[in-house]
Amino acid sequence: MTLISPQRLTRRQEQDDVDMIAIAVLLRRRQEKDQRRRRQFWVRPWIARRELFGTYDQLMTELERESHGDFKGYLRIEPAMFHEMLKRLTDSLEKTKTNWRTPLGVDLKLAVTIRYLASGDSHRSLAYSFRVTHNTISKVVREVCASIVEEYGPEVFSTPSAPDSWRVVAHRFGSRWNFHHACGALDGKHIAMKCPKDSGSLYYNYKGFFSIILLALVDGDYKWADVGANGSTSDCSVSNSSTLSTALMNNTLGLPPPEPLPNDDKDTPYFLVGDDAFPLRT
């Protein structure tokens, strides 16, 4: 028989008590964690009433029915353009219905994304107006933007390369804007963004916010666009470092040779229109 001293017995009991307390604490934490994870609702009740009170099903329907101007003011596009985009993007954005829940409609996804791009509202702000959770909106915006680029990219970013193609562009400028021999209008646009990590003031522009610059060359119907750069760069610097500027300097853009303007007999070059941020060059 082994005899255990009272002191060792007391220490063992104390250790057992400590172990039991530790186990009880771990079990309690696990229970609290499971309670936090357990959802109260599969879909929050106020979100489930989207069709009754949501912005898309109520406000946008009213605007399209009663005031196309206000519809354009809200989304920055005409109702006809919205429905064209809806028709062209449906195949790539439509989800298969399941027994679990009905997926968001393509029309709602498109409306949320266009409103986000037009207003710059946060995902949380849009969540309360459209009655779609903010984390879902974050995924929807990326998905719709990717589909827009894939669908419209080849059409919007197609640049003429032959004199006859440029003459068509110039003719459109002349007929629509009464500005003959213009082959494009060039300008820069600051697009607001969050400051990239460890970028300092590289993206901080003279207007007082962080941005990336879109340098756009558009035809008479506002089509085409070119490159982007950090917001601290001037429009002229962006232009000088673009492939467009290189093509102009090397005369490889394919512009037509000088020809007379309407009702004139003196040859006048074809040209690009820009503001005073761009130097006057041949």
pLDDT, tens digit (0-9, with 9 covering 90-100), for 54-97: 999 999 999 999 999 999 999 999 999 999 999 999 999 998 77
Per-residue pLDDT, 222? 74
Where residue 191 falls among pLDDT bands split at 50, 70, 90?
Answer: confident
Digit-coded pLDDT (tens) for 102-126? 889 999 999 999 999 999 889 999 9
Percent of the chain topping pLDDT 70: 89
Say if residue 6's pLDDT is above 70.
no
Among 24-33, 70-79, 191-200, 221-230, the range scoring the smallest mean pLDDT is 221-230
**Sheet arrangement for strand 211-218:** 228-230, 211-218, 182-192, 271-274
pLDDT reading at 244 higher than 70:
yes
**Whether this model's pTM surpasses 0.85:** no
**Is pLDDT larger for residue 175 or for residue 95?**
175
